[in-house]
Amino acid sequence: MISTTPKGDRRYAILGTGALGGYYGACLQRVGLEVHFLLHRDYQHVREQGLVIESADGDFTLPVVNAYDDVAQMPACDVVIVALKTTQNHLLSDMLPPVVKDDGVVLVLQNGMGIEQEVAQLVGSKRVMGGLCFLCSNKVEPGHIHHLDYKQITLGEYLPDYQPGGLTQRMRQIADDFERASIPITLAEDLLLARWQKLVWNIPYNGLSVVLDATTNELMADNSTRSLVEQLMGEVLAGASATGRKISDRFIQTMLDYTEKMTPYRTSMKIDYDERRPLEVEAIVGNPLRVATAAGTDLPLISMLYRQLKFLDMQNRRFNTD
């Protein structure tokens, strides 16, 4: 059971008010929950003008939000959502401890693998959950988020070494809050399995979209890359299997079919690359690779993709003027 505000609600913090954190946080505040937003570049703008959400589900504006540019000014919260890019996670050791209540929880809404372990070292493994977001959303201007499609989240408890955490009361409480905000939630009994499942999509499409300068539909329309996607997915299954998580081969076909039916899509890693931002290579590709290797399984194609991405990321950063 997580403690509540005097009103009886849980208090939320959003660390990283971008396309993802800004969208979910705004949805929660809109239905009456208390939300505290940490910002960096957009702080002044959002403090003065609030957040604008443009969405297929209906546009809305929050003229006033609790905006901060310093975590020390934020109140301790019941649920602290980590919505930074993983490339910013070196900031978490300073950010997290003051903002999470003793009986609160940090909810990591980031891509990839291994982040919950890092967070557990900062706040203790009893205060960590993971979430996988299926969301198409962009920040188009400071404080202005364009939500395109999807929004569901899969939630899972983190236990040391990614033992399956089962279903808990606090998962259901958080799910209630999100569902009140019309965000569908799936509860996963095994967070690591859910993370591997998401990587079946994320590793091939994020990786190849950057290396080959391609959208998802271009990768699917060409026989060479379509079968390469399939081989990479097979290696993700081998990685999952090395850690005792079985994903059926049929899941690959499901992901291929799903991607073929999608609107042509520029992946998040490709957007980061095009915007000359650091790539989430370690979280999405490097960490799963190391987990599989530690479990005794080589993933040669993913390893090659990883080296290609590391090279492109380094070359790309040379031109970053931020």
Which positions touch its own copies (CB under 8 A)? Answer: 208, 211-214, 218-219, 222, 224-225, 227-228, 231, 300-301, 304-308, 310-312, 314-315
Distance of CA 51 to the CA centre of its chain: 21
Q: Which is nearer to its own copies, 80 or 219 (CB)?
A: 219
Task: Compute the least distance from the CB of residue 259 to its own copies, in Å.
Answer: 16
Q: Which is nearer to its own copies, 12 or 306 (CB)?
A: 306
Buried/exposed code over 213-232 (b: 16+ C-beta within 10 A; e: otherwise): ebbbeebbeeeebeebbeeb
Task: Compute the least distance from the CB of residue 245 to its own copies, in Å.
Answer: 23
Q: Report how far residue 55's alpha carbon sits from residue 286's, in angstroms, rounded to the nearest whole number.
A: 34
Which residues are catalytically annotated? 198
Task: Compute the least distance from the CB of residue 222 to its own copies, in Å.
Answer: 5
Q: Are 311 and 210 in contact (CB under 8 A)?
A: no
Task: Compute the least distance from the CB of residue 304 to its own copies, in Å.
Answer: 5
The angle, 0 to 180 degrees and rounded to 10, between the axes of the packed helices 21-30 and 169-180 is 80
Q: Which is nearer to its own copies, 193 or 220 (CB)?
A: 220
Task: Compute the least distance from the CB of residue 87 to its own copies, in Å.
Answer: 17
Q: Which is nearer to its own copies, 29 or 316 (CB)?
A: 316
Q: Three-class SS string for the chain?
A: CCCCCCCCCCEEEEECCCCCHHHHHHHHHHCCCEEEEECCCCHHHHHHHCEEEEECCCCEEECCCEEECCHHHCCCEEEEEECCCHHHHHHHHHHHHHHEEEEEEEEECCCCCCHHHHHHHHHCHHHEEEEEECCEEEEEECCEEEEEECCCEEEEECCHHHCCCCCCHHHHHHHHHHHHCCCCEEEECCHHHHHHHHHHHHHHHHHHHHHCCCCHHHHHHCHHHHHHHHHHHHHHHHHHHHCCCCCCCHHHHHHHHHHHHCCCCCCHHHHHHHCCCCCCHHHHHHHHHHHHHHCCCCCHHHHHHHHHHHHHHHHHHCCCCC
Task: Compute the least distance from the CB of residue 233 to its own copies, in Å.
Answer: 13
Nearest alpha-carbon partner for 98 in 81, 123, 118:
123
Q: Which is nearer to its own copies, 150 or 311 (CB)?
A: 311
Q: Which is nearer to its own copies, 143 or 239 (CB)?
A: 239
Q: Which is nearer to its own copies, 258 or 311 (CB)?
A: 311
